Amino acid sequence: MIELHGASGYLLNQFMSPYSQIRQDKYGGTLQNRARFAVDVIQNIKQKTGADFPVSYRITINEYVQ
């Protein structure tokens, strides 16, 4: 099993966060665009390991930013 750490300010979290993600390309803006990097990473892992290989994704629910 592979667990991706998409929380606690790590790179995957930085792409997903509306607070730190200020890009204006296909990876920024909407939630769908901000999630694109994580989806690309997961698809790449699945391509290399096979569809049945378990992959989990740790995500931040609340960033406690006002």
**Which sequence positions are flagged as catalytic?**
10
- Picking from 24, 12, 9, the residue whose alpha carbon sits closest to that of residue 55 is 12
**Contact present, 60 and 7 (Cβ < 8 Å):** yes
**Contact present, 53 and 46 (Cβ < 8 Å):** yes
